[in-house]
Structure 1
């Protein structure tokens, strides 16, 4: 497992898009007016060059449970969970700025006050969160990187899973949703190696699940969703 005392690299490989189509004027407004107030302080190297641990209580103003969603896409699930669990603070990580802008619009519309947004690589956030700080984590329809030579870029590799395991509390739940059978295979192989136990899998979603745009696309194209639940040992 990653040692929090071990110096981390000044840079790391990142695969995937950071920008897409030109943002609408309203989305540019969300980014300029809302993002800074929702961004956790101390995550970027500019704000925290020595990579000191940040205080999760400072993000939401109290010691409420903290959840983490990795790659929130358009933000449907993130906002849904924030509304359903107002006593929980949820941090969403997403490097794709168009997705961030979409989420900010949804946050405005919903009036959610228990969300924080890290518009970047989840590893940067996990690097500065204290050990055991996260009570639940979500990985919904991650980039499948379908080519075999690209499987090492998937989130379900030690490079991501070991830092995730470090910041998750014992007994914390890690949920994974995907429509790619080979992603299921790799998840079942790699996640237990990082210190998690499989407790549930199948084609029936969780009781508090909301179907996202990515899931709807998968269903239209004939791919079956699969839901897996792990618990941090």
Structure 2
């Protein structure tokens, strides 16, 4: 175990993705400056919440039942689900600033009011979410880390799945979409070990997208490049 600490007191967590990409447009800077703070689910960062006090789920998205999207990318799915399900509150986590800015623009255009945004590592959010407060979670086209020596960086490892299982209610649904066959293999190996049941009854259950699905930019790229999407649905086992 790595016992190093950040100056803030946070545990040392390696992060292997990007926080920033190409230069933001002026409008995207405005979204970040004007909209992001109001969409916070609460004090998540170690600087704002060094004692790691739990968030109050009833204070997020007006007390609606909560869903979680882990790594929402450009926000296509997050905004789509928010529009389809106004009775639900969606928490989106995404550390990549460009994706956050893009999503804030989509939220303005869609005029939905049931989304909270954490612009950072979902592990920090797991620290402050109470047990069994999330009713549905999504992991859609996560970074595949294709080299074998990098597979430990994938989300579908105990470091991420164990806290995810803790914050999900018994019976909660966890959806995973990927176009990488080896990510499918690791998902089907690791997610049941973390306390989930795979709900597929036949091949069509993982080849056919969900009825409320919307195609993301990552799926469009996969299809252009000849890769096959897989759609896996799991249910959190009773405690």
Measured against the shorter chain, the TM-score band is over 0.9
Q: Is the 8 A contact 1:38 1:115 kept in 2?
A: yes
Alignment of 1:1-80 (within 5 A): 10-62=11-63, 64-80=64-80
Higher mean C-alpha deviation, range 193-202 or range 12-21: 193-202
Structure 1 regions of 5+ residues with no counterpart?
A: 1-7
Pick closer, same or farther for the CA change 1:9–1:45 going to 2, 3 Å.
closer
Residue number in structure 2 paired with 1:4? none
User: Distance between the aligned counterparts of 1:101 and 1:135, measured in 2?
Assistant: 26
User: Distance between the aligned counterparts of 2:112 and 2:85, measured in 1?
Assistant: 11
| Ranges of 4+ aligned residues in structure 1 off by more than 6 Å | none
Residues 60-107 of structure 1: per-residue CA shift (max 9 Å, x gap): 222x21000000000000000000000000000000000000000000
User: Distance between the aligned counterparts of 2:61 and 2:78, measured in 1?
Assistant: 16
Structure 2 regions of 5+ residues with no counterpart?
A: 1-8
Alignment of 1:1-233 (within 5 A): 10-62=11-63, 64-200=64-200, 201-233=205-237
User: Distance between the aligned counterparts of 2:32 and 2:128, measured in 1?
Assistant: 24
Q: Give the RMSD, CA atoms, in angstroms.
A: 1.0
User: Distance between the aligned counterparts of 2:151 and 2:12, measured in 1?
Assistant: 21
User: Distance between the aligned counterparts of 2:170 and 2:62, measured in 1?
Assistant: 23
Q: Is the 8 A contact 1:41 1:47 kept in 2?
A: no
Residues 25-71 of structure 1: per-residue CA shift (max 9 Å, x gap): 00000000000000121211111101111101112222x21000000
> How far off is 1:11 after superposition?
2.6
User: Distance between the aligned counterparts of 1:140 and 1:46, measured in 2?
Assistant: 29
User: Distance between the aligned counterparts of 1:180 and 1:100, measured in 2?
Assistant: 24
